[in-house]
Amino acid sequence: MSFFEQIAAALDREDIESRVNGDTLFVPITMDLEVQFVTIDDELPAAEVYVAAADVDSDDDDFEAVLVSVVFSVEDAVEAVAHHVATDRVVTLLRVLLDGEDDRVADLEFEQDAEEATLVTAEVGEASLLQVLVTANGNEPVAHVRFIAQDENLDDIVDQAIAEFWDSDTETILTDDDRRKMFADLYADAASLRNEVLTLGAFTDFDKLLDVLSLAADRAEEWEDQLAPVEDGFAESLYSTYQGDDWAEDDDYDDNDEDDLDDEDDFDDADELDDDDLDDEEPEGKGAAGVKDAGDAAEGK
């Protein structure tokens, strides 16, 4: 079989449609987007991979197929298609959230992070945030959702800290950029100390994700009350009733037991997770542009 035929057969096994026209294999990703493979060496084999608008006349002046990679095996070709399918799903979800195209999130005004293109945040409740981070590790798009309850007095705390800085005897001369960075860092530090975070989970079903976001927006004020910071020592007091005399007088666990644990050989180096194992499991997604740039950056990998 030719390289085209091998790629088409492999895509067919993945239930991905493709068609051949002359020296080009077309793989539709969406109604508006397709991946094109152009064979440049059938014996090696090798094919150039292009991304282009679908159903466009090649004579159209606006028609432009963008070269994004070159593949040298059937496996690489299938991986390239999977990558662009995943990228399109990520970009589509971000557009739905940012533009409020679905009724379930129409009332949420998501904003894109300036440094992380796949992170969007919306204000909910009285002083809380709803965050969605979309990743595509292993070409499997996943949306990670967090509800962050902020202290209602956060702005006042930051303003007070800034005022104290200006009232201090420091002789440091700050430029405008220095001041902006200092204020941003100060706000971030204060926020990290005054925020309460509720993890809502990771979702591969984006339809269910929209239901979750709608529910989170509706429950925001109630969650804010329940996530309010508690006084120091409160958590310890919850367990105080279980720490009676029986625990204090229990002689079954003493210093010798700790020595026994130190001598155990059951948990050796071979049983521990190393950094490489963890890296294989951790999704990641970084960017620093708009939605379109996020898609372009992913496609150019």
Total count of residues recorded for the chain:
301
Q: Do residue 151 and residue 290 come from a single domain?
A: yes
As averages over each run of 10 residues, the pLDDT of the chain (301 residues) reads: 89 91 88 90 91 66 78 95 93 94 94 92 90 93 91 55 55 64 59 71 96 95 77 50 48 47 44 43 40 46 44
Q: Do residue 40 and residue 169 come from a single domain?
A: no
> Tell me, what's the pLDDT at 271?
42
Token couple for 190: 């204060």
Distance (Å, whole) CA 182 – CA 301:
35
> Is 97 part of any domain?
no
As for how many domains the chain has, the answer is 2
Q: Do residue 67 and residue 162 come from a single domain?
A: no
Q: What is the pLDDT of residues 183-224, one digit of tens each?
A: 666 555 555 545 688 899 999 999 999 999 999 999 999 998
> Is 145 part of any domain?
yes
- 3-state class (DSSP) for residue 49: strand
Q: Do residue 179 and residue 288 come from a single domain?
A: yes
> Tell me, what's the pLDDT at 246?
47
Domain end marker among 22, 50, 72: 72
Q: Does the global pTM surpass 0.75?
A: no
Q: Which domain holds residue 26?
A: 3-72
Residue 65 is given by DSSP the state: P
Question: Closest Cα partner for 121 from 22, 129, 104, 261?
Answer: 129
> Tell me, what's the pLDDT at 140?
92
> Is 175 part of any domain?
yes
**Terminal alpha carbon distance of the chain:** 29
> Is 33 part of any domain?
yes
Q: Do residue 125 and residue 184 come from a single domain?
A: yes
> Is 282 part of any domain?
yes
Q: Do residue 29 and residue 129 come from a single domain?
A: no
Q: Do residue 279 and residue 191 come from a single domain?
A: yes
> Tell me, what's the pLDDT at 224?
86
> Is 138 part of any domain?
yes
Helix or strand holding residue 70 (H, E): strand 66-71
Domain end marker among 45, 72, 99: 72
Q: Do residue 66 and residue 114 come from a single domain?
A: no
Q: Do residue 28 and residue 143 come from a single domain?
A: no
> Is 224 part of any domain?
yes
Which residues have CB under 8 Å from 45's CB, separation 6+? 3, 39, 72, 73
Distance (Å, whole) CA 44 – CA 167:
72
